[in-house]
Structure 1
Amino acid sequence: MSHREAGERLLQNAGTLAEKITEKQYRLQPDLMERFGPIGKIRTKEDSRYSLSYLAESVLVKSPSLFTHYISWLKVLLAGYRVSAEDLEVNLQLIKESLEEEFEHPYLEFLLEYLEMGIEATRQSESHRSFIHASLPYGLEAQAYVQHLLHNQRKEAFELLETELDAGASIRDLYRYIFQPAQYEIGRLWQQSEISVGQEHFCTAATQSFISRLYSRWLLQPNQGKRLVAACVGSEQHEIGLRMLTDVFEMEGWDTYYLGANVPNGSIVEAIGLHESDVVAISVTMTYHLHLAKDLIQRIRSHAETAHVKIMVGGYPFNIDKELWRAVGADGYAPGAEEAVAVAERLLIHPVSLDNMSAASESGKG
């Protein structure tokens, strides 16, 4: 029996377990109904299922840091809804109790090892530092950009971008030093309940529209005769990072085929073959979609016409665990668009093995 089997079994039973855990918590803490009402019980069930899914994925790929990072993130998010760290710890202890009832050894050992780390994470203090700092390149401009968006000032936000371009900034500078940290910062503000879901969506939509409006100002390199297919896995909706990555490849002279989100695996494999892709970029934001990335990679490898294609992965879970790309079967990983171009070029020039690809990724940074 393995970590993989334990994780897969937990994924299969997450829904049923979440129901049981929620009922237990509301019996143990009857004040929860008074504090949060019926909707609170529904959300407790949803959060329990997410926690179980994150735990399962972490065990599947043998990466406890994925689960502990999630619990630390969840603790901050729930605090904005008046759910205390103690409430969260009670929930995790009930998850432990339910796992002990439902799972036998050695499955249970794998799950409890990671769960205990998550419980400990509820007792740690969290950092709330901004992703934008005046000391960073274009830091002041990024701060102003976020403030314009938060105050519904789309016109002023776009004028700021045009001013920077006229002053000598490149589109890639805007992507790396304004758009990317701005998206992280907006996500942080939402997590801490400082802005609403509606504001978060508005800011993201505004940035996406600005990206489209800036196409006419691109500076393109000569065509390199190389092809990239880029897609998000499963039902991922966080696609703006992958879109910027695809744009940077296009600026470097690659032919790119951006598929975006909600594309079935079969269609992705078909597109790779149809466009005779050299490299595939797969984006994962939600940790509970990691198994979908692994499934997609296996499917790409299993088709004769796509088996040769080099596969890069990126996104939030891969930034937490820098070795995670190995677990899903990819050829490499890059933390951002600029690094991705370097890794892709290196993969095509030197078809490196999984044992030394990490060095290629690291050397592409900066």
Structure 2
Amino acid sequence: MNKFYNEFLGHLEKEDRFACVEYAVSKLSSGELDVVTLYEDVAGPALNSIDCNINDKGLCIWREHVRSSIVRTVIENCYTYVIKEREKRKISGKAGTAVVICPDGEYHEIGARIVADFFTMCGLNATFVGSSTPKEEFISVLEYLKPDFIAVSVTNYYNLVSAGKAIKEIRSRYKGNLKILVGGNAFLKNPNTYKEIGADTHVRTFNEIRNYIGGGW
């Protein structure tokens, strides 16, 4: 697996969007990689491992945004393979509905987009709402879609307070039967934080999501 990771990382460090997309799609097309492995062992870790050694902090931030944008493009181009993975296992896509959000103030959305694809692969009708979603907006979304699951993605530790407020608002205003999952780098030091902010479970991988929701894999 290090081979695929190192090759993709090389393209990403050069900030070569075309090469990154072409590499990912070609490996999925050939069957050398599947979507889960690409997301969990290649693209995601490559993005998280990038370290900026330049003294100019502004330039480092700019590079982080560029590389995040490249990985986002890779994920968007993998969607047809997400559907193929689901169809290959004869999963109907009628297992329920899921909504994926980032709480107000959380602008890191790559993990949330990946989770939305994982939900889709497990047979759920998944909607990714977007980064930094104000409470009023996603309450309206919940009342409209009436989901069975909602995933809240938090990367920045300081946004856990915002996530907790969002979950409390959901619990008080949305009366449907709803399971709330949380994930993201903000939970790495203390996975049990999910209990403190009112979620039902903390998930980190595709298998954990699949096992929790009962996907047909």
Q: TM-score range by the shorter chain?
A: 0.7 to 0.9
Assess if the C-alpha contact under 8 Å between 2:21 and 2:77 holds in 1: no
Q: Structure 1 235/337 Cα, relative in aligned 2: closer, same or farther at 3 Å?
A: farther
1:248 maps to which residue? 118
Within 5 Å, give how 1:335-354 maps onto structure 2: 335-345=204-214
Task: Kindly provide the amino acid, as one letter, of the partner of residue 73 in structure 2.
Answer: S
CA distance in 2, matches of 1:155, 1:281: 31
More strand by share: 2
Higher-Rg structure is 1
2:34 maps to which residue? 170
1:139 maps to which residue? 2
C-alpha RMSD of the superposition = 2.0
Task: Kindly provide the amino acid, as one letter, of the partner of residue 335 in structure 1.
Answer: R
SS of match in other structure, 1:261: strand
1:285 maps to which residue? 155
Within 5 Å, give how 1:269-308 maps onto structure 2: 269-306=139-176, 308=177
More helix by share: 1
Within 5 Å, give how 1:44-63 maps onto structure 2: none
1:211 maps to which residue? 75
1:309 maps to which residue? 178
CA-to-aligned-CA distance 1:188-207 (integer Å, 9 cap, x gap): x03x5588222221111111
CA distance in 1, matches of 2:141, 2:207: 24
Task: Kindly provide the amino acid, as one letter, of the partner of residue 212 in structure 1.
Answer: E
Where do 5+ consecutive residues of structure 1 fail to align? 1-137, 347-366
State the TM-score, normalized to the length of structure 2: 0.86
CA distance in 1, matches of 2:107, 2:80: 26
Q: Structure 1 248/304 Cα, relative in aligned 2: closer, same or farther at 3 Å?
A: closer
Moved over 4 A (4+): 192-195
CA distance in 2, matches of 1:304, 1:317: 25
* 2:26 maps to 1:157: no
CA-to-aligned-CA distance 1:113-151 (integer Å, 9 cap, x gap): xxxxxxxxxxxxxxxxxxxxxxxxx22211121111221
CA-to-aligned-CA distance 1:155-204 (integer Å, 9 cap, x gap): 32223223322331212221111111112112xx03x5588222221111
Task: Kindly provide the amino acid, as one letter, of the partner of residue 34 in structure 2.
Answer: S
Task: Kindly provide the amino acid, as one letter, of the partner of residue 36 in structure 2.
Answer: R
Within 5 Å, give how 1:13-92 maps onto structure 2: none
Task: Kindly provide the amino acid, as one letter, of the partner of residue 270 in structure 1.
Answer: S
Q: Between Structure 1 and Structure 2, how many residues are aligned?
A: 205
1:328 maps to which residue? 197
* 2:90 maps to 1:226: no
